[in-house]
Amino acid sequence: MKVPFKTDLTGKTAIVTGGSGTLCSAIAYGLAVSGAKIALIGRRLDKLQEVTGDMTAKAEREYGKKVIVKGYSCDVTDKIGLVQVYEIIKRELGSCDILINGAGGNQPGAITSIEALEKEKGVDDYSFWNLDEDRIRDVMNLNYMGTLLPIQVFTKDMVEKRSGSIINIASVTSILPLTKVIAYGNAKSAILNLTQWLAVHLGESGIRCNAIAPGFYAAEQNHKLLYNEERSFTKRAKKIIAGTPMRKFGNPEDLIGAALFLADDEASAFVNGIVLPVDGGYCAYSGV
């Protein structure tokens, strides 16, 4: 996995929630190769151990570097659990300098089966009205509270240091509402607002808060959305490609440069409150 440019994060501690996922593990790898000590947060310790092992081996193989990457099992919606795990991280790696809020996801019961009602009545017309209330709450809780609570817990030491970088993982649906994924889109748009609110609230303190809005990536969690069993594009994938000026899906490593830029206090010293799309031009295209 290629790290696009060199930056020196030696001595920094970076916490990455959702750290065992495809996108955030790529970001964590870029930070680790740049010298940061990495704490990966996820719910499954076995998956975290697999990712940390792969990451350390890859850094040794590709860059000849010994990196510090550790996994910590925790639910990002459990504040007490977050406090407990942070005490362990501080003892082992030090207090947080960089926070990547990547935990998130969607659930079938919070997604409509159709994009929009048509002129003539159809069998799925009540898809929106039949959405599962509990699944909607779960999606909002994971994506919004699962970002807010780690910020409250992991960045408190930044107040004492008067420095730090918070990078939230938003989405193109934070900017342009996507059909079907109502709860996920609502939650991710709240991440955009939270990012800007924190940028103002923390503005004079030396703590910066920005967000990355990934476009469409062929990751494990959305494979069925994008590909049929025979590896051809689904109907929705074809629409996504048609709406992306670069006419392709992103690769996880495409996010590394954006994260390194926002994490580096020198490179982005005066960058605060932005939401940076890494989407192949998706948010710039009107469809015409």
d(CA 126, CA 2): 46
d(CA 267, CA 248): 29
- 40 with 102: CB under 8 angstroms? no
Neighbours of 177 (CB within 10 A): 13
d(CA 192, CA 171): 9
Instruction: Assess whether 282 carries a catalytic annotation.
Output: no
Measured CA distances, 185 to 68, 87, 98, 140, 176 (Å) = 35, 33, 25, 9, 9
Task: From the candidates 29, 86, 184, 282, give the one annotated as an active-site residue.
Answer: 184
Phi-psi region of 287 (alpha: psi -120 to 50; beta: other; left: phi over 0): left
- 155 with 164: CB under 8 angstroms? yes
d(CA 162, CA 14): 16
Q: Which residues contact 265 (CB under 8 A, 6 or more apart)?
A: 163, 165, 208
Structure token pair of residue 193: 């607002």
Give the active site residues. 184
